[in-house]
Amino acid sequence: MKKSSISRRNFLGKAATVGVAGVVVPTIITSCARETKKVVEVPTFLDQAPDGPVLKAGIIGCGGRGTGAALDFLNAGPNLQVTALGDTFQDRVDSCKARILKEKNQEVPAENCFVGFDAYQKVIDSGVDIVILAT
């Protein structure tokens, strides 16, 4: 087999040069063209989600991050509900449920509070629209 006269390093260097030239040359050519005004429209971002149908969320992982994520979700706009909680530890589910009730006056039904290694599956199957995974 005949050994190539070009090394891998030379090949990569030349390929990079061709790539840069492919970007720079058209830019230089178009910058010499007659200038036209371009209008760039920046979308406005809302502080809160707009009104709409009720969006039901389930929280998987009810420790500090999960509880914080649940409260952030509820603060994001109207018509938002946390309807299911799941964690491997009962005390975390109870703590998250109590904090949601205290801070947002929203009750998570006891039948939708799941504990154990299969809690994530039960949250998903509970009829929620979205799941916030905070494990």
pLDDT digits (tens, 9 = 90+) for 8-29: 788 778 788 877 777 777 777 7
d(CA 75, CA 96) in angstroms, rounded, equals 15
From 33, 56, 36, select the one nearest 109 (Cα to Cα): 56
Q: Tell me whether residue 79 is in a domain.
A: yes
Q: What is the mean pLDDT of residues 63-78?
A: 94
Residue 126 has pLDDT above 80, yes or no: yes
Q: Tell me whether residue 66 is in a domain.
A: yes
What's the pLDDT band for 7 if we cut at 50, 70, 90? confident
Residue 104 has pLDDT above 90, yes or no: yes
- The single residue listed with the structure tokens 């492919």 is 22
pTM for the structure as a whole: 0.64
Q: What is the mean pLDDT of residues 92-107?
A: 97
What's the domain count of the chain?
1
Please report the pLDDT score of residue 95 as a whole number. Answer: 97
CB count within 10 Å of CB 24 equals: 10
Q: Tell me whether residue 38 is in a domain.
A: no
Q: Tell me whether residue 129 is in a domain.
A: yes
What's the pLDDT band for 107 if we cut at 50, 70, 90? very high
Q: What is the mean pLDDT of residues 80-100?
A: 97
d(CA 86, CA 58) in angstroms, rounded, equals 8
The CATH number that applies at residue 109 is 3.40.50.720
Please report the pLDDT score of residue 18 as a whole number. Answer: 77
Q: Tell me whether residue 126 is in a domain.
A: yes
Q: Tell me whether residue 40 is in a domain.
A: no
- And the tokens for 133? 């995974």
Q: Tell me whether residue 120 is in a domain.
A: yes
For the chain, the DSSP string reads: -PPPSS-HHHHHHHHHHHHHHHHHHHHHHHHTSPP-----PPPP--SSPPS-S-EEEEEE--SHHHHHHHHHHHHT-SSEEEEEEEES-HHHHHHHHHHHHHHH--PPPGGGEEESTTHHHHHHTTT-SEEEE--
| Residues spanned by the domain of 83 | 55-133
